[in-house]
Structure 1
Amino acid sequence: MHTAGTSPAHPAHARSEHIPSPSDQSEHTGHGGHAGHSDHVAMFRRLFWIMFALAVPVVFASDMFAMLVGYSLPDATWIAWISPVLGTVMFAWGGSPFLTGAVSEIRSRAPGMMLLIALAITVAFVASMGASLGVLDHQLDFWWELALLIVIMLLGHWVEMRSLAQTTSALDSLAALLPDTAERVEGDGVVSVAPDQLQLGDVVIVRPGGRVPADGTIVAGSASMDESMITGESRTVRRGDGEQVVAGTVATDSGIRVQVTAVGQDTALAGIGRLVADAQNSTSRAQRIADTAAGWLFWFALGAAVITAVVWTQFGMGDDAVIRTITVLVIACPHALGLAIPLVVSIATERAARGGVLVKDRLALETMRTVDTVLFDKTGTLTKGEPTVTAVEVTGNRTPDEVLALAAAAETDSEHPLARAIVTAAQLRNLTVPAATDFRSSPAIGVSVDVNGTRIQVGGPALLEQEHATELPIADRWRRDGAIILHVLADGVVIGALGLADEIRAESRAAIDALHDRGITVVMITGDADAVAKSVATELGVDRYFAGVKPEDKSHSVADLQQEGRTVAMVGDGVNDAPALAQADVGIAIGAGTDVAIASAGVILASDDPRSVLSVIELSRASYRKMKQNLWWAAGYNLISVPLAAGVLAPVGFVLPMSVGAILMSLSTIIVAANAQLLRRLDLTPDASTGALGDGSRDPVSTS
């Protein structure tokens, strides 16, 4: 890593270099490990449609439903057995996910929604079958209620699992950073082997533009290493004989030979993978609010049923005790509660996707409203992650355009990132770049060409030392600002200097200002040197920054902020960000970043606009309001209807009939669904200048 006061040398690339990206390699490795979500989506979808088809005749052949709606059933024996036969199929087949889920909740001693649903459908089935067989009172014929209950619950769980199915494997993406093959030196020849076949002490060849297959020490050659995927350092770092290189990094300009010192689980890349896995496991145990509500509702319903049975029995009304108890349990089943959260999540994620925000983790969406600190990775997030010419200084009667054009002529045949930045700067200024011949590159020194008989050279400190030239005075100030400094020489004489830096995104300042307006602390973290970090932090007005941070320390920095009592959202795009994204309360990945960063985050921004973080905050707040409102609607129905069904007003002559309770249950479900639909009106488009969201950014029906 470079420190303030040094400028890296400027080597040149081979003409046809191609650096494979993680996305390139992931095409070969594939993704796995998440088939379970897809299987559940398919299962609930299939079950829903099958049960829906079976529910239609069950409902319309039910005496209670016919009496409720007001039509008469044909007086035929086979009609009376439609509901019992098909209802039994629905209970055994469509209810199986809830029955098995209830068993799991019992074993884990954590009763929740699955147990409550299983209890309701079991009671409804037993009572209905008893009524059909004439063993129990005909009022206990709940076949139509059982059918609707199973269909609505399957619909809710289908929607829920579909919202969880959009995910990828972080560890597979980490593995994709390794090359498909490694070139191992054996005797006088070279053999291609898989990276996992390498052993300690093996010597491998890494060609220009190739990735290092395993951690090791350079034993021959030197190269400018692109370590940004591992360290976050935006500049290439020169590595030579005896220096360490890390698996997954890229030799950008020259070939090297590396002796393997670590393989498999001992590599730095594997260590990052363990950090990601540990952080994800530590945050995955959080309890969802719907499960908590269902847990309380379970005990509420069970307690109400027991009290109902005891009280009615004490008054010597055994038959009424059975009817009232079963009615309580059936009415208490959370039709609306089953849709309250997954429906909001489904609509919110759909709305977010149209606004360029992909929500992978419902907990991340819910937590974002409480975030008081946003931690931005600098390179590729607040900045573009690529060098840009920021200043040109000249000597004598030269003009900045003339010096830049000559530098571009020298760099045209180079594919180094700094060379591309210089050529791009000339193109943006519409400069005429003169033709050059006799292109030469010297690793760690620079490039040279012949332009109309004049030798033009571009390079760093090593070039000045070679030519016995002196850097321009402006270089000290540029260096303090963290710029990369290249000098341009004509026949060995300095004619100008170029300052290059990682360009700050135009939207970054607006995003940070808008976050400050919301009372949110903004922190920046980077692997770059302090001078670079300080320059960017000062320009953007961030509250704090961490510089020179190693990969493993990024997650530690997040943990340190959390220990201060902060709720932290981490925004990043690189592999080195993955552990921090997983450690943070909310991980937000820039969509242009690596697969592993995306896989480690709970929220993904499809664009590279940091203002999209504000969209996540507003979406979180609006979604949470909808969740609360829906939970109150859903649970409120139970809190009111269960006591009425139990007969709390029986002394004054009112007992809630099952039919009325069913209507209230359906009404509760309709209200929950309609309320969730209002999220579609949320405006997530950031204002071009202020970073604020559009007029629709506030919840249309916020009752908080």
Structure 2
Amino acid sequence: MEQHHHAHTDPHTDHERHSGGHHDHHAHMIEDFKRRFYICTALSIPVLAFSEMIQGFLGVEFSFPGMGYVAAALATFIFLYGGWPFLKGLKDELSEGGPGMMTLIAIAITVAWAYSTAVILGLEGKVFYWELVTLIDIMLLGHWLEMRSIMGASKALERLAELMPSEAHRVVGNDIHDVKISALKKGDIILIKPGEKVPADGKIIEGDSDLNESALTGESKPVQKSEGDSVIGGAINGDGSIQVEVTSSGEDSYLNKVIKLVEEAQQTKSKTQSLANKAAGWLAYIAIGVGAVTFVVWAFFTSQGMDFALERMVTVMIITCPHALGLAVPLVVAISTALSAKNGLLIRNRTAFENSRKISAIVFDKTGTLTEGNFGVNRIKALDERSEEDLLALAGAIEQSSEHPIARGIVNEAKKRELKLPSVSEFGSTKGKGVNAKVNGIPYQIVSPGYLKEEGINLPEGAHSDQAETVVFILKEGSLIGFIALADQIRKESKDAIQTLKDKGIKVLMATGDNEQTAKAVASTLGLDGYYSQVLPHEKSELIEKLQQEGHHVAMTGDGVNDAPALAKADIGIAVGSGTDVAAETADIILTESSPSDIANLILFGRATYNKMVQNLVWATGYNVVAIPLAAGVLFYQGIMINPAVGAALMSLSTIVCAANAQLLRFKFK
């Protein structure tokens, strides 16, 4: 399987090239904005100090020969250095289909710089350098804040590839050689020791063992595999040694298919344009349109002259770009991201988080999300004179030597009840049948229902229920003395959380790799709107797509590799914290706790955050309704005309209101 390794490493390295590269590029851009912001802000101080208008505000007056030229030189540097990302952004936006935030900022700063420099060089009019530098500083700050709070480059594909071990034990005759996975070929025989990861898809030709495939398929119980059964690369071997014949080379391997699905879904995720950008696009049209009309009207239809017309046009075009617009959304983002993180909610994709208010259907993975993901004791039944506690202590003592999840569940329950466990001797286990040991010299066995059937022992009454239970039986000297029923425990918070979601009109579904009986029991206990059992990763992804085609805005919640493609495909992927890194890296939102109640809170908080953004945009652009007509000189003949100083005061006020409003989010987190 020469290609096998390439199949695992090529998407991996290939992805690393653009994921790693993209990650570095993003980090570099954040640093770049930060540096530009600090340098420009420092250089803005003298520009503000030299401004007649600011001096007038502060009631001070000073000047020196050539002060205007010094201000012009500093402002020109700030315009070229601090304004460069916006000027470049203008070019990108216009070539990509329309003006947005960058266009609006670029127009305002270019007009302010060009006009002010012309005034310094002799044109009749006012200098707007202070407007220019503060606008650049605030916009740099807004972009820096925004980029910093949404950074989180995806390393999902590297994580997936890491599930594969790097070496395999190849069997040639009686010899065993350790070889790199890249050296494996179809038809090779490999040995997999207890506890090791399976290095390639294949078929067991010798031995039997329990394989833990939960990270890959979502099946909560380790699967008993023996000769003739197929195994998946990346699964973890239990306590048996197996020999496997390699069946699929890398390109066709199960894990590789999951990697491809994740990659495709990540690439097709829609890039919703942010609201602020749309608002800025409209304002760019308004700035140019109203500015041009203002100039034409004053220059050709009044006696005020060209200088006056030009000054009005410039005032309109600068005032149309509100400082507050640059901060309206980033401030809310920064606060909501910080607040969320403090409350165990990590936001990796801001658009998805803002869109959480639209969720109309949510698909839960079962194991580890709605349920605890480990076996707990449901019922204990003693069939002789001993008590439940005695039976549990006996079973706990015997199972202490076993690593099986069922054994762990029994031992944990005995510890939880603080039972004193008797001492055991001669512990042994029979694959797929159970374990045996002596307690006080008497032989005991803990066995599966299959063993009872083989031995012709009838199942006791109550050993079967309609719940998703696994039942083990305890035998003393070959006769039945009781049984213990275990199940993957449903989380305490699941029921309330699902009720909250249903009350909000959201359709709640479950998709699980587990069997029909287990899925049905969990779905009916929790009152779900529907469930899908024995679902493979690509089927989860298809289910999400089907719901999207029905017009639903779909959220997916999961914690395993098997959920990764569906998390990437969903409108909003929510990974729960106890899960794998892969799930976390493909999700838009990560919950550090695994509580479903956090998901309900997330949706409510997403709605509150979105509302704050809209309010801020209304504030940021609302003052334009008043400022633009006044700047254009609509009431000039009534003696009312907005000068840049008043425009600046209004601008500052709307920025303060936006900042204060964003802080109110702190009271919204449930």
TM-score in same-fold range (> 0.5): yes
Counterpart for residue 434 of structure 1: 422
Report the 3-state secondary structure (helix = DSSP H, G, I; strand = E; otherwise coil) of the residue aligned with 2:669: coil
Most deviating of 663-672 and 645-654: 645-654
Code of the aligned partner of 2:124: D
Give the alignment partner of residue 657 of structure 1, picking from 621, 640, 643. 643
Report the 3-state secondary structure (helix = DSSP H, G, I; strand = E; otherwise coil) of the residue aligned with 2:596: coil
Superposed CA deviations along residues 467-524 of structure 1, whole A, max 9, x for unmatched, are: 44333232332xx322112111111212112211101111111212222333333222
CA deviation after TM superposition for structure 1 residue 150, in Å: 0.8
Mapped pair 1:409 → 2:388: no
Counterpart for residue 332 of structure 2: 344
Mapped pair 1:489 → 2:478: no
CA deviation after TM superposition for structure 1 residue 400, in Å: 2.1
Counterpart for residue 317 of structure 2: 329
After TM superposition, list the pairs within 5 Å mapping 1:501-650 onto structure 2: 501-650=487-636
Counterpart for residue 7 of structure 2: none
Q: Is the 8 A contact 2:50 2:63 kept in 1?
A: no
Counterpart for residue 667 of structure 1: 653
State the aligned residue count.
651
Counterpart for residue 241 of structure 1: 227
Q: Is the 8 A contact 1:439 1:448 kept in 2?
A: yes
Mapped pair 1:182 → 2:168: yes
CA deviation after TM superposition for structure 1 residue 249, in Å: 0.9
Superposed CA deviations along residues 295-331 of structure 1, whole A, max 9, x for unmatched, are: 1221121211222222223215322221112111111
Give the alignment partner of residue 307 of structure 1, picking from 282, 288, 293. 293
Most deviating of 592-601 and 632-641: 632-641
Counterpart for residue 65 of structure 1: 54
CA deviation after TM superposition for structure 1 residue 176, in Å: 2.1
Give the alignment partner of residue 499 of structure 1, picking from 462, 468, 485. 485
**73 and 196 in structure 1: CA distance in 2 versus 1, 3 angstrom threshold:** farther
Code of the aligned partner of 2:145: V
Give the alignment partner of residue 281 of structure 1, picking from 254, 258, 267. 267
Provide the rounded CA distance (Å) in 2 between the counterparts of 1:470 and 1:55. Answer: 88
Most deviating of 259-268 and 150-159: 259-268
Mapped pair 1:157 → 2:146: no
Question: TM-score, normalised to structure 1's length?
Answer: 0.89
Provide the rounded CA distance (Å) in 2 between the counterparts of 1:667 and 1:289. Answer: 21
Code of the aligned partner of 2:381: E
Give the alignment partner of residue 677 of structure 1, picking from 659, 663, 667. 663
Q: Is the 8 A contact 1:214 1:262 kept in 2?
A: yes
Provide the rounded CA distance (Å) in 1 between the counterparts of 2:429 and 2:383. Answer: 24
Counterpart for residue 137 of structure 1: 124
**385 and 304 in structure 1: CA distance in 2 versus 1, 3 angstrom threshold:** same
Counterpart for residue 9 of structure 2: none
Q: Is the 8 A contact 2:578 2:592 kept in 1?
A: yes
Most deviating of 187-196 and 397-406: 187-196
Question: TM-score, normalised to structure 2's length?
Answer: 0.93
Provide the rounded CA distance (Å) in 2 between the counterparts of 1:262 and 1:38. Answer: 39
Provide the rounded CA distance (Å) in 2 between the counterparts of 1:302 and 1:181. Answer: 64
**190 and 312 in structure 1: CA distance in 2 versus 1, 3 angstrom threshold:** farther
Code of the aligned partner of 2:147: M
Q: Is the 8 A contact 2:434 2:445 kept in 1?
A: yes
CA deviation after TM superposition for structure 1 residue 651, in Å: 4.4
Counterpart for residue 696 of structure 1: none
Most deviating of 408-417 and 378-387: 408-417
Provide the rounded CA distance (Å) in 2 between the counterparts of 1:166 and 1:280. Answer: 14
Counterpart for residue 40 of structure 2: 51
Q: Is the 8 A contact 1:112 1:291 kept in 2?
A: yes
Code of the aligned partner of 2:99: P
Mapped pair 1:255 → 2:241: yes
Provide the rounded CA distance (Å) in 1 between the counterparts of 2:426 and 2:400. Answer: 12
Code of the aligned partner of 2:282: W
Counterpart for residue 386 of structure 1: 374
Give the alignment partner of residue 396 of structure 1, picking from 374, 384, 387. 384
CA deviation after TM superposition for structure 1 residue 71, in Å: 2.1
CA deviation after TM superposition for structure 1 residue 450, in Å: 1.1
CA deviation after TM superposition for structure 1 residue 431, in Å: 2.0
User: Over aligned residue pairs, what C-alpha RMSD do you find?
Assistant: 1.9
Most deviating of 455-464 and 646-655: 646-655
Q: Which runs of 5+ in 1 are unaligned?
A: 1-28, 685-704
Counterpart for residue 64 of structure 2: 75
Code of the aligned partner of 2:313: T
Provide the rounded CA distance (Å) in 2 between the counterparts of 1:187 and 1:643. Answer: 90
Mapped pair 1:193 → 2:179: yes
CA deviation after TM superposition for structure 1 residue 438, in Å: 0.8
Most deviating of 53-62 and 263-272: 263-272
Provide the rounded CA distance (Å) in 1 between the counterparts of 2:277 and 2:169. Answer: 53
Provide the rounded CA distance (Å) in 1 between the counterparts of 2:565 and 2:227. Answer: 31
**309 and 193 in structure 1: CA distance in 2 versus 1, 3 angstrom threshold:** farther
Provide the rounded CA distance (Å) in 1 between the counterparts of 2:308 and 2:495. Answer: 69
Code of the aligned partner of 1:439: F
Report the 3-state secondary structure (helix = DSSP H, G, I; strand = E; otherwise coil) of the residue aligned with 2:463: helix
Provide the rounded CA distance (Å) in 2 between the counterparts of 1:391 and 1:358. Answer: 38
Q: Is the 8 A contact 1:407 1:456 kept in 2?
A: no
Q: Is the 8 A contact 1:183 1:193 kept in 2?
A: yes
Superposed CA deviations along residues 580-621 of structure 1, whole A, max 9, x for unmatched, are: 212222111111111111111111111121111122122111
Q: Is the 8 A contact 1:196 1:264 kept in 2?
A: no
Superposed CA deviations along residues 342-364 of structure 1, whole A, max 9, x for unmatched, are: 11011011111122211111112
Superposed CA deviations along residues 15-35 of structure 1, whole A, max 9, x for unmatched, are: xxxxxxxxxxxxxx9994522
Code of the aligned partner of 1:148: T
Mapped pair 1:374 → 2:374: no
CA deviation after TM superposition for structure 1 residue 186, in Å: 4.2
Report the 3-state secondary structure (helix = DSSP H, G, I; strand = E; otherwise coil) of the residue aligned with 1:201: coil
After TM superposition, list the pairs within 5 Å mapping 1:114-133 onto structure 2: 114-133=102-121
Code of the aligned partner of 2:41: F
Code of the aligned partner of 1:362: R
After TM superposition, list the pairs within 5 Å mapping 1:471-490 onto structure 2: 471-477=459-465, 480-490=466-476
Counterpart for residue 25 of structure 2: 36
**Which structure has more RCO (C-alpha within 8 Å, separation ≥ 6)?**
1
**648 and 183 in structure 1: CA distance in 2 versus 1, 3 angstrom threshold:** farther
Provide the rounded CA distance (Å) in 2 between the counterparts of 1:197 and 1:106. Answer: 51
**235 and 71 in structure 1: CA distance in 2 versus 1, 3 angstrom threshold:** same
Q: Is the 8 A contact 2:125 2:308 kept in 1?
A: no
Give the alignment partner of residue 444 of structure 1, picking from 432, 437, 455. 432
Superposed CA deviations along residues 660-693 of structure 1, whole A, max 9, x for unmatched, are: 1122112111111111011122232xxxxxxxxx
Mapped pair 1:418 → 2:406: yes
CA deviation after TM superposition for structure 1 residue 105, in Å: 1.0
Provide the rounded CA distance (Å) in 2 between the counterparts of 1:563 and 1:120. Answer: 43
Provide the rounded CA distance (Å) in 2 between the counterparts of 1:329 and 1:194. Answer: 65
Code of the aligned partner of 1:589: A
